[in-house]
Amino acid sequence: MALKTTFTELLGIEHPIVQGGMQWVGRAELAAAVSNAGALGILTALTQPTPEALAKEIERCRGMTDKPFGVNLTILPTMTPPPYAEYRRAIIESGIKIVETAGSKPKEHVDDFKANGVKVIHKCTSVRHALSAERMGVDVISIDGFECAGHPGEDDVPGLILIPATVDKVKIPVIASGGFADGRGLAAAMALGAQGVNMGTRFCATQEAPIHDKVKQFLVDNDERGTNLIFRKLHNTARVGKNSVSDEVVRRLSQPDATFEDVAPLVRGARGRELLETGNLDAGLVWAGQSQGLIQDVPTVAELVARIVRDARSIIERDLRAFLR
């Protein structure tokens, strides 16, 4: 049975669960499986080497599902930025109607997406950034707590505070991101005022995730302590799985005069991709959140989504019966 919220009605999906954009992971196999399960699958634009390759991946995904799916476009400051405008144009011209944006200075992209009838979910790590995105015209805020994989911002506010604080301030739907992996989390997020959840790490530990089985087992074996915060000294904090590479990054950046150049060879995206594809857990960084502590198995996506929805509904109905007693 579908679990409907304002968010699901807005996007035309059955369940209020989003598979977040993940570099090297957000491919057609995973996105289509998530959408077929009634949730929202997301392709990651910059996983594809060119805008033309992205357009082909979108068509490949369409061949696997007739349900709604979206594309993530993350805008990050880099020495050699990708052609964001060309990726954006490929998304629009491919007829995509749902986009997840993240990163810095997204206004140019949001304006173009909105002018072309695209619904925009923007990921934020603070209430002030959520308010800014709302003024920019996005349709949904994905609020990312300190527990998350990737970049949690510099405020260190966990979801238990950040979710309701955001809901109190913005008028558009909010979905909760960071630390979600099961039905308890979905029910809790909805109790805090969110209209759904965004999950990344949990979807990596599914049969359809296009990564090596050793990486999936790494996520199962880890507990809630199995992450490192890196780049704190550089004011670009990132949460990654704890392995020999992230331990070394932390060690090097703890030196008084350390700079990014001291760790650049360790954190290259190509090394992370090698880890995901080969299962060599010492090849590079593996992006993972504290929700590792809640992952006990590697189900199919359909099994996972059905379980989360069933358990969340059971919790909500149980609490409602207790309240009405």
Please provide residue 237's backbone torsions phi and psi, each rounded to the nearest 5 degrees.
-50, 135
46 Cβ neighbours under 8 A, 6+ residues apart: 23, 73, 74, 82, 87
pLDDT at 79 over 60: yes
Tell me the average pLDDT across 55-83: 93
From residue 93, alpha-carbon distances to 85, 120, 277 in Å are 12, 16, 30
Tell me the average pLDDT across 166-195: 98
Tens of pLDDT, residues 2-58: 889 999 999 999 999 999 999 999 999 999 999 999 999 999 999 999 999 999 999
> What gap in Å lies between CA 43 and CA 73, rounded to an integer?
9
- pTM to 2 decimal places: 0.95
Determine the Cα angle at 197 with ends 186 and 60, to 5°: 130
> What gap in Å lies between CA 44 and CA 70, rounded to an integer?
9
CA proximity to 179, closest of 288, 314, 25: 288
From residue 119, alpha-carbon distances to 5, 71, 168, 175, 195 in Å are 16, 11, 22, 14, 16
pLDDT at 155 over 90: yes
What are the E-state strand segments in the chain?
17-19, 41-44, 69-75, 98-103, 119-124, 140-144, 174-177, 197-199, 227-230, 238-241
Domains, the chain: 6-211 (3.20.20.70), 227-287 (no CATH)
pLDDT at 325 over 70: no
Q: Which residue has the tokens 């999950």?
A: 199
